[in-house]
């Protein structure tokens, strides 16, 4: 029995020490694929202000330009933190909604004030399979007037800021809003 345990420990050590970086939740692997052909998105109403343009770094260090995402499809920005109780209560359903809209509407998390290990554990626990920008200095949050986590913003294809919810909203309501505001 001890020999089996020792062998298992060696195998685990070798697997952990193989030099490969673990895949970080919220990194480049979660970026969307090509825009689906025939994606029907509602145009923004005339006079709708543009969304604040930002660049940032994903959890794995990959650079992201938000305008590149909303050039081809609508984007939902989820402002959250791993320590936010309301965020945690809503995250599983929001993660499922993000999977349901995968490639048609891009969900992008924006996180401020988190430790990398806490954020990674949160994203894995809630099966969040969307890109997450680490907003270390709060620049993105300030640009969207987000004072605390749990906020949501919807950006139309082309970059018009359609709507924001400072206190956030549940997945069912967000689903309804996506259908009303974004999808034709």
State the CB neighbour count (10 A cutoff) for residue 109: 30
pLDDT tens profile 59-104: 999 999 999 999 999 999 999 999 999 999 999 999 999 999 998 9
Chain centre distance of CA 152? 11
Closest Cα to residue 132, out of 145, 148, 118, 142?
118
Judge whether residue 3 has pLDDT over 70.
no
Residue 22: pLDDT band (50, 70, 90) is low
Separation between Cα atoms, residue 179 and residue 30, nearest integer Å: 23
CB 151 within 8 A of CB 167: yes
Judge whether residue 56 has pLDDT over 90.
yes
Q: Show me where the domains of the chain are located.
A: 23-32+39-181
Alpha helices in 28-84 (DSSP H): 66-70
Identify the pLDDT of residue 135.
Answer: 96
pTM across the whole model: 0.86
pLDDT tens profile 125-148: 999 999 999 999 999 999 999 999
State the CB neighbour count (10 A cutoff) for residue 83: 14
- Does the structural domain 23-32+39-181 have CATH classification 3.30.465.10? no
């Amino acid at each position: 029995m001890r020999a089996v345990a020792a062998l298992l420990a060696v195998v685990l050590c070798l697997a952990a020490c193989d030099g490969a970086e673990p895949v970080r939740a919220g990194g480049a692997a979660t970026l969307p694929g090509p825009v689906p052909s025939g994606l029907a998105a509602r145009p923004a109403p005339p006079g709708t202000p543009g969304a604040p343009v930002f660049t940032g770094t994903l959890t794995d260090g990959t650079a992201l330009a938000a305008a590149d995402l909303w050039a081809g499809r609508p984007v939902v920005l989820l402002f959250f933190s791993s320590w936010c109780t309301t965020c945690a209560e809503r995250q599983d359903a929001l993660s499922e909604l993000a999977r349901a809209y995968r490639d048609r509407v891009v969900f992008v998390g924006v996180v401020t004030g988190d430790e990398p290990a806490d954020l990674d554990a949160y994203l894995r626990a809630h099966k969040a399979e969307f890109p997450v920008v680490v907003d270390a200095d709060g620049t993105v949050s300030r640009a969207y007037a987000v004072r605390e986590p749990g906020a949501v913003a919807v950006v139309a294809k082309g970059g018009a800021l359609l709507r924001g919810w400072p206190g956030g909203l549940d997945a069912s309501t967000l689903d309804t809003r996506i259908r009303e505001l974004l999808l034709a």
